[in-house]
Every structure is written in structure tokens, then in C-alpha cells.
Amino acid sequence: MLLPRLRSAERLAQVVAFAALILTTPILVEAQQPASTAQSVPPPAPQPAQRGATFQDYSVPRPAFPHILRPYSAQEVPPPNLGNSSRIDSLMHDGKIYLSIDDAIALALENNLDIDLARYNLNIAATDLLRAKSGASILGVNAGIVQNTPGGGVGGLGGTVGSGTGGTTVAASGIGTGTNGLVSSTLGIGAPITAFDPQITSTLQLDRNQTESTSLFSPVPVASTNTYTANFAYTQGFEWGTSLTAAFNNNHVTSNLPTSEITPLINSAFQFRLTQNLLQGFGSLPNLRFIRIAKNNREITDVAFRLQVITTVDQIEDMYWDLVYAYENVRVQQEALAYAQKALDDAKRQAQVGTAPPIQVVSAQSTVATDQQNLILSQNNLQLEQLLMKNAVSRSIEDPILAEADVIPTSTMQLPEQEPVIPIQDLISQALNHRAELVESRIDLNSRDLSAKAVRNDLLPSLQAFAYYGGSGVGGDVNSLLPNCPSTATYCFTQSTAPPPFQHAYSVGYGATLNQLVNSTAPDKGLGVSLTIPLRNRAAQANQVRADLEYRQAQVRLQQLENQVRIEVRNAQFDVRQNRAAVEAAQAAVDFARQTLNADQQKLKVGLTTQVTILQDAATLTTGESNLVSAKAAYEKSRIELDRATGLLLDHAGIDVADATRGEVKRLPNVPYVVPRQDVAPVEPSSTGSPSAQGGQM
């Protein structure tokens, strides 16, 4: 439809007002979350509103008013906090850190650098969403799990319970290139998107051109032309594949050529052009795909952060029980050495009075040497575990006081009288609903389904309908250097014979030139379509098939993860049962070894047995007690693994992900089946108001 003719200054004012409204009112494009075609996703991750004062929502642009230059200035990002939280100081007494398992988890949530690294992904995902809102392509976010905490691995430094691995592993699960290992992906490709952020371009130019003449017919030896240009344009895209362009061009040209009819010459023109995609790029789906994928990616980073917290807490708990094992093992080896030393002293006295052969003294000395070696090994392992624990619960161990402090575990395991009986199908159902890996895969599946639909749209030819309206105006002065018209001339430019707008004026000002733009003196208006058909269309076909293949691959991957979760849950339940049986068997063996040692010591007093038998009984008791400590640590780790496999580790330990997000624990965790140790001196309450020595008490 053609626009009506505009003839008056009033209509000119209306057009200018309309243009000003467009230029000063940016249109915000907000994408609506698409309906998920995958399975329902439980919301285990914290919402952005829970990020507290520590985090700024970078998905919202900084307002331009009243500071209009703010969008064009760099935003300062605060440097990382590399200092330890005050909780460590509250747990240190007399150069020792009295650490419960609850305090260890709280310190890790505040100080562990693996979690600190994952926090940055939350804000990076928000910046990607802001980028997508402008119509730009997304960069993707790393949603991998960081496992850089030495001592947090499975199996230990020595491959046994009681020592942790020092390995470094960083999982690079880039969302932008596929969360499940694809090097490159069709995720996000499709029809080009016009920027949603309004853009103003302008060209201001002053040009002075002087040209020497080489022609006999040139009226002047040096032609001088001065050109002043002032051009402005406004462009913006919309979510339905619509784009708007408004252009306003001005030229002012002066010349010393007497053949120039008008100098200075003023040219002004404007045009409004509206373009609508009808096939490729039509609708909100292809044009808002980056925004929707960026929102999914932001949700994935929330879930990935929760998974990072679960992973780190799992490592910290395993390390804590390694520390408990190392601490208890030192006590066991000290008792064994005490038995061996006493046996050596008795053997020496008996040898002096002739009631025992000298070889018995040599045997006792050998046992003492072996037990001394075992004690040194256990003490070294304890020092290593203390160092690993201090590193895991602090940002820096450069403080000499912290570096030299001993870590005393104040929690011990409480074996439940009867193991809770939960049907395996219930455990599997809990895992399928709570495991963060499955939540990530379902969100990723939704993003791939959305991307595949956008890629199908890219198969279509490009058909655009456009409409435009514009006008032009001319102004300036009739050249005073024009020669007089000879009487024989059939046409000569004079004021009386000049074309519009110089028919009744020798000079036309800039205001009159602008009025010509809207009074239909020289209108430019029309409608049209533009069709582009790619013959064979092989690239689009390949993209469409690959996008569907990647979507199907993601479905298979989700099923694979579900199968893996089922196996992990069953295996974790088996381990709990086996390790509980191992604890009971080890306890029975310790009780029997202790009773045997006591009985043989009574026999030794009346001469019914030998010192060699006592040493053998003591060695058996030492081995049994060491096995019992190891079995208890393995049992506690298997319970932790069951909670991790079902996705309920944080829930059962009373851990708030919002505290981990802020890096400030307001409510101390409460790990089940843990009680305070009775052989550790009490510790004053920590700064949070919870008794650190009582951490884990139910």
C-alpha cells in the first residue's frame, strides 16, 4: 500500500517526530521459554534471585539514563578473593585445627577453589544471555566439572583407603559446542538474524577537491569543488524476521565552474524501508533461537554448579574419612609399638634371670623395629592427609601458622544399629529425578530440538517482501557565473526558465529543501519482493540432517546416562551392604584378638605360654584394629557414594546451594550417622554460632 501524499510542514513535523520516536525508543525483545519436548526437568538448581549480593545479574544491560555514556564504558569486574574465610581462625586453638566433618564441608563451600572456578560460569552464562538478546550469536559456556582438589580422587595416593590422589582433571563440557563431547555442532546455526539492538550510523565528511584542467574547453584552469556530507541511518531487527531501516542523507556542494547551474547545491533525501522474511527466517523460532538456547545454557550452568558442589562435597567427605583413618591408624600403631616395647622389656628381664632364651630378645627387638617403621609410615600419611585437607578447605596455605597447624578430626562414624531398608526401585527413581547429569542432558536435548527446528527453516528459499517510502529535495543558489543566454539559443538556464524549485526564486534554503522531502515534490515509494533460491541446497541439507542426527544422538546419550545411573545406584547399595558386613566382621575379629591377648597375658603370668605368643597376639590385634578403622572408612565412603548416586548428597547433609553460590555458609551442614569423638578436647563454638566440635551430631 502506498503512503499518502505529505504536503505540509505539519506533516513534516509528524514524520520527524515519528523518526525521533524510533531513534530514542529501543525495542526490547524478550524471548519466551519454549515448551520442552523432553522429559520434565526438576528444579534442583538455585534460581538467579538466590545468588545474593555476591553476584550481579549480567543478563540485564546497564541503564543508559541518566548516564547516557554508560553503555559505552567498560564495566569493572572485581578481582577474585584469594583470602580464607574467618571460619578457619575460629576453629584453630593452640596451633591445631579442630575440624568436624560439618566444618570441613562449610569451609570447602566458602574456600574451595574448584567451587570458586565454577561460580564464574554462572556470570559467564548471564553475559551470553545478554549477548543473545542483542541478536548476536552465543559463545557458549563451560559446564564441565572441575576436580583440581588434591586428595579428592578415588583410591588414594597409594591406592588404598586412607590416602587421596593428587591428580588434576578438568572436564571441558562446552555448551556452545555440545555438552556431550561433540567437537563442533549444529547447535545455533540457521537463518541470519538482524540485530535486535537499534543501531545508528552516520557519516560526516568535508571534502575539498581541486583538479587542474587539461582541456581547451575547460572554463577555468583549476576546478574547485567542496562537498559537505551528513548522512544518518537507523536499523533494527524484530523477532518475527522483520527489519526496519531509516536513512537520511544530505549533501552540500559548491563549485567554481561557471557551467554549474546551481552552486552551492543542496541535496537531501530520506527513505523508510520495511523488510519482512516470508520463508527463511520467518517467525520467532529461528530469530529467537539464540536467546532460548542461552536461557537453557544459563539453566545448565545452574545445574552444573550444583553438580560441582556435589562433586566437591563428595571429595571433601572422602578426604575427611581418609584423615580419620590416618589419625586412628597412628593410634593403633602407637599401641602396637607400646605392646612390642613392653614385650622387649619383659624378654630382657627373663633373659637376664635365665628364664628365656636370648633369641627371644632378638625376636622382640625385630618386632619393635617393625612397629617403629609402621608408626613412622602412619605418621607421615597423617601429615599428608592433614596437608591435603588444609589445601581443600582453604584458598591459600601461605600463612605459616595455617601451614604448620595440625588438623585434628573431631567427628567419628556412628554405625546405625540397623541399616535403612529402601527398595532399589525407589532409590533408582530418586536418582532419575535428582541426578544433575540427567537434568543437564534433558535441558541440552531441549536446546537441540529447538536448534533442529531452526535448521529446518534454513532449508527454505529466501523470500523477502519490502515496502519503502522516501523523498528528495534540492536547494541552493542559481550560479551567478552563468553566461547570458544568446538570442539564438534554443534552451538556456535562467531564473525565469528554471525548473522547480527555482521557478520563482533565485535561492532555495535548507528549510525549503527539507519541506520537499514530505510534500511529494519528488516522492520515492514502492513495494516489492526479493527471492533467492539456492540450487541443490546441499549445505542446508547437510546441516538439517546433522542437526537431527545430533538430536537423536542426544536422546541415546540420555538413555545411556539413565542406564549408567541405574547401575551406579545398584552398585552403591551393594557396597553399603558389603562394607557394613566388613565392619561387623572386623569388629568381631578385634574383639576376639583382644580377648585372646588378655587371656594369653594371664597365662604368661603363670608360665603357661611364651612371650612370642604375646607378640603374635599383639600383632593380630594391631592388624585387626587397622582393618576395623579401614572398614569403617570404606563403609562411610560407600554411604557417601550412595547419596551421590541418588543425587541426594546435599539434601541428606543439609547443604544449601545458595550458601555455596554466595561463598558464605549461614547454616552449618549436618552429615548423618556422625558423632563427636570422645578422645578430643572440646572446642569453643565457631563464629557461626554452631559448636564446631559437635559438627555432625544428630
In a domain, 80, yes or no: no
DSSP, collapsed to helix, strand or coil, labels residue 307 as helix
CA gap 294, 141 in Å, rounded: 9
> Residue 135 burial (CB < 10 Å; 0-12/13-18/19+)?
buried
pLDDT recorded at residue 492: 59
pLDDT recorded at residue 219: 79
- As a whole number, mean pLDDT of residues 297-318 equals 93
| Sheet with 96-99, side-by-side order of all strands | 92-93, 96-99, 406-409
Percent of the chain at pLDDT exceeding 90: 48
Number of other residues whose CB lies within 10 A of the CB of residue 679: 7
pLDDT recorded at residue 493: 57
What stretch of H or E contains 84? none
Closest CA to 119 of 653, 663, 651, 650: 663
pLDDT recorded at residue 310: 94
Hey, which of 13-27, 124-138, 180-194 has the most confident mean pLDDT?
A: 124-138
- The answer to whether 469 and 271 have CB atoms below 8 angstroms apart is yes
Biggest CA-to-CA distance, the chain? 159
Strand locations in 180-295, DSSP E?
199-212, 222-237, 242-255, 262-277
Q: Is the pTM of this model over 0.85?
A: no
Structurally, the chain folds into a number of domains equal to: 1
User: Where residue 696 falls among pLDDT bands split at 50, 70, 90?
Assistant: very low
pLDDT recorded at residue 174: 39
- As a whole number, mean pLDDT of residues 189-212 equals 91
In a domain, 379, yes or no: no
Q: Give tens-digit pLDDT for 61-114.
A: 888 888 888 888 888 888 888 888 889 989 999 889 999 999 999 999 999 999
- As a whole number, mean pLDDT of residues 145-171 equals 49
- The answer to whether 239 and 31 have CB atoms below 8 angstroms apart is yes
- Which phi and psi angles does 396 have, rounded to 5°? -150, 140
Q: Give tens-digit pLDDT for 536-564.
A: 999 999 999 999 999 999 999 999 999 99
- Which phi and psi angles does 115 have, rounded to 5°? -65, -35
pLDDT recorded at residue 495: 53
Q: Give tens-digit pLDDT for 393-410.
A: 999 888 888 889 999 999
Number of other residues whose CB lies within 10 A of the CB of residue 315: 24
pLDDT recorded at residue 253: 94
Residues 6+ apart with CB under 8 A from 325: 161, 162, 629, 630, 632, 633
User: What is the separation of C-alpha 517 from the centre of its chain, rounded to a whole number of angstroms?
Assistant: 53
DSSP code of residue 510: H
Q: Give tens-digit pLDDT for 234-291.
A: 999 999 999 999 999 999 999 888 878 888 899 999 999 999 999 999 999 999 999 9
pLDDT recorded at residue 182: 44
In a domain, 647, yes or no: yes
Is the predicted pLDDT of residue 4 greater than 70, yes or no? no
- The answer to whether 120 and 149 have CB atoms below 8 angstroms apart is no
In a domain, 95, yes or no: yes
In a domain, 184, yes or no: yes
In a domain, 506, yes or no: yes
In a domain, 356, yes or no: no
**What domain range includes position 94?**
1-74+88-154+167-329+388-482+491-528+538-698
Is the predicted pLDDT of residue 164 greater than 60, yes or no? no
Q: Give tens-digit pLDDT for 327-342.
A: 989 988 898 898 888 8
- The answer to whether 196 and 29 have CB atoms below 8 angstroms apart is yes
- The answer to whether 569 and 562 have CB atoms below 8 angstroms apart is no
CA gap 583, 516 in Å, rounded: 97
> Residue 336 burial (CB < 10 Å; 0-12/13-18/19+)?
buried
What stretch of H or E contains 426? helix 424-434
Residue type, 226: N
- The answer to whether 130 and 61 have CB atoms below 8 angstroms apart is yes
pLDDT recorded at residue 106: 94
Q: What is the DSSP string of 555-589?
A: HHHHHHHHHHHHHHHHHHHHHHHHHHHHHHHHHHH
pLDDT recorded at residue 271: 95
User: Where residue 163 falls among pLDDT bands split at 50, 70, 90?
Assistant: very low
CA gap 683, 90 in Å, rounded: 9
pLDDT recorded at residue 592: 94
CATH of the domain at 663: 1.20.1600.10
Mean residue pLDDT across the chain: 82
pLDDT recorded at residue 484: 61
Higher pLDDT, 692 or 587: 587
pLDDT recorded at residue 414: 82
In a domain, 360, yes or no: no
- As a whole number, mean pLDDT of residues 474-499 equals 66
What stretch of H or E contains 522? none
Sign of torsion over alpha carbons 101, 107, 112, 117: positive
